[in-house]
Structure 1
């Protein structure tokens, strides 16, 4: 199993949050800190949702972790957009 550590999660979270904001068209409104926060919260959300569908999220590796964070970030940005009324 891959142990990334604190800085590894910051990097993966930042990348996932940034790409997620590009996908959802919110990149101009976010800075690097918000991208990292969105990516990390997205990772928690994505991991939770994948576990609900029976996907083993432990030991998935670096690419699986990144894709989980990205999925969660996109879902999080979609929900925030709906709640705040933004496109």
Structure 2
């Protein structure tokens, strides 16, 4: 997949991760979608490490599931790190 494919996949996976894990995120939807791009890469790493599989083509179900899984992981970590800050 090309870099544009990764970006589109990450943006959509980030939006789906947000729909799966609703709640208030610091930074809004833009940060959530950027986390989705990072999550797509993390999903590829998780797939290779745990399931011994790589990301396939853009329209492959395995690619989407791994990207969404990675986005959920990154979003959960982001919420855990930023959720404990106190603002005045």
**TM-score when scaled to structure 1?**
0.72
Secondary structure in structure 1 of the residue aligned to 2:14:
helix
Give the structure 2 partner of residue 21 of structure 1. 18
Residue number in structure 1 paired with 2:65: 67
**What SS does the aligned partner of 1:81 have?**
helix
Which of 73, 76, 79 is the equivalent residue of 2:74? 76
Residue equivalent to 2:47: 50
Tell me the SS of whatever aligns to 1:71: helix
From 8, 14, 28, give the equivalent of 1:30.
28
Paired with 2:41 and 2:8, the residues of 1 have a C-alpha distance of 15
CA gap 1:83/1:42 in 2 versus in 1, 3 angstroms: same
| Distance apart, 1:30 and its partner CA | 2.5
8 Å CA contact 1:20, 1:73 repeated in 2: yes
Q: Which structure 1 residue ranges, 5 or more long, are not aligned?
A: none
Q: Secondary structure at the match of 1:25?
A: coil
How many residues matched? Answer: 81
User: TM-score with structure 2 length normalisation?
Assistant: 0.71
Residue 75 of structure 1 and its aligned partner are, at CA, apart by 0.5
